[in-house]
């Protein structure tokens, strides 16, 4: 399968960086042992987008997020958040950013409520007079109000993820950067987080969602960046990535050799055969004409379908790897 003709990573001028909530140029992280975790990353997250940062575990997503938030120092390159240069403008920018990274750390002996109280108290940009209301609202939004007085050490993984989201929601943010936010959540919790992300986006907040679940991206993201082995192999609107992969036709027949001959006569590209199933890229030919040609050539057709490309097809085309489609 040929790689989709999608928007490729590119260098950004200062003007183009200012048009995005997140913009990186040549961002690189090499560890002491020589491993390059993130390689020359040029990322552009449009303001107001729900940006799916997609890739298998170990592809460099979390390392990228840690660099974006100033939790790890890049080996090379620069980046901007909300039009501010990082790390120079971190003090002014980071209070406008909510983040959930690698499972949040809280005090195990404190309750969820007291953990949030402590976090809010040390935030010099937060209004103490509204602390109680904001904490209550954040706990309610993530469904933790019934467990707010339980100690953190008794929380399940899913509850800990919820508390991390609540911490990010303690005050209005212009940008959320969420690393695997549904990790450990049951199906109901996963749906609730997806609804929350949709609500944030509807209010004009930019969301960068790092995930290895295609279902998560398919359901809520407007834009996608695909990571593979530390490199950004494609980025752009989700619809464009899908459109860049050719629609295929597939016929099931007891005479696949004859079906191949018909498709070759029609000059269909990328013909492939798997047992009794023969497929090809549709190109510009109407699908009903292909069926008519098969019947005319005497090919017995037990099944025929048009296969519209999905995100899994895009990912496989870009990386040559399978992917986790669950979630």
pLDDT tens digit at each of 327 positions of the chain = 333 333 433 444 444 445 899 999 999 999 988 899 999 999 999 999 999 998 887 889 999 999 999 999 999 999 999 999 999 999 999 999 999 997 678 999 999 999 999 999 999 889 999 999 999 999 999 999 999 999 999 999 889 999 999 999 999 999 999 998 988 888 888 888 889 999 999 999 999 999 888 878 888 999 999 998 899 998 999 888 776 667 889 999 999 999 999 999 999 998 999 999 999 988 788 899 999 999 999 999 999 998 876 677 677 666 666 555 444
How would you classify the pairing of strands 84-86 and 76-81?
antiparallel
- pTM assigned to the model: 0.76
Cβ contacts of 294 within 8 Å, gap of 6 or more: 251, 253, 259, 262, 301, 304
d(CA 34, CA 45): 29
d(CA 320, CA 314): 10
Cα angle 157, 113, 98 (rounded to 5 degrees) comes to 70
The CATH number of the domain covering residues in 248-308: 3.30.70.100
| Cβ proximity of 81 and 68 under 8 Å | yes
Give the residue from 318, 325, 322, 321 showing the smallest Cα distance to 234: 318
Cα angle 323, 105, 173 (rounded to 5 degrees) comes to 80
Q: How far apart are the first and last CA of the chain?
A: 26
| Per-residue CA distances from 8 to 1, 13, 51, 208 (Å) | 18, 15, 15, 18
| Cβ proximity of 289 and 296 under 8 Å | no
Query: For the chain, which residues make up each domain, given as ranges?
Result: 14-243, 248-308
Which class would CATH give 14-243?
A: alpha beta
Specify the 3-state DSSP secondary structure of 97: strand
d(CA 61, CA 194): 19
């Amino acid at each position: 399968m040929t790689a989709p003709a999608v928007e490729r990573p590119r260098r950004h001028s200062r003007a183009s960086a200012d048009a995005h909530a997140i913009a990186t140029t040549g961002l690189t992280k090499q560890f002491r042992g020589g491993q390059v975790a993130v390689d020359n990353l040029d990322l552009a997250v449009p303001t107001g987008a729900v940006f799916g940062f997609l890739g298998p575990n170990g592809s460099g997503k979390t390392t990228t997020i840690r660099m974006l938030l100033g939790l790890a120092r890049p080996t090379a390159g620069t980046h901007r958040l909300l039009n501010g240069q990082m790390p120079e403008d971190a003090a002014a920018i980071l209070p406008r950013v909510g983040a959930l990274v690698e499972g949040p750390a809280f005090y195990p002996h404190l309750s969820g409520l007291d953990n949030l109280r402590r976090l809010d108290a040390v935030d010099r940009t937060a209004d103490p007079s509204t602390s109680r209301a904001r904490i209550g609202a954040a706990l309610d939004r993530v469904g933790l109000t019934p467990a707010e007085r339980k100690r953190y050490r008794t929380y399940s993984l899913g509850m800990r993820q919820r508390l991390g989201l609540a911490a990010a929601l303690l005050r209005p943010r212009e940008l959320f950067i969420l690393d695997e936010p549904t990790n450990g959540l049951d199906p109901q919790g996963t749906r609730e987080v997806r609804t929350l992300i949709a609500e944030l986006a509807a209010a004009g907040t930019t969301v960068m969602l790092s995930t290895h679940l295609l279902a998560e991206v398919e359901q809520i993201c407007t834009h996608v960046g695909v990571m593979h082995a530390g490199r950004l192999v494609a980025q752009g609107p989700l619809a464009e990535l899908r459109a860049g992969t050719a629609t295929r036709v597939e016929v099931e027949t007891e005479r696949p050799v004859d079906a191949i001959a018909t498709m070759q006569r029609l000059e269909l590209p990328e013909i492939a055969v798997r047992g009794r199933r023969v497929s090809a890229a549709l190109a510009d030919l109407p699908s009903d004409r292909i069926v008519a040609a098969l019947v005319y050539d005497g090919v017995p057709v037990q099944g025929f379908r048009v296969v519209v490309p999905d995100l899994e097809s895009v990912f496989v085309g870009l990386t040559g790897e399978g992917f986790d489609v669950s979630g």
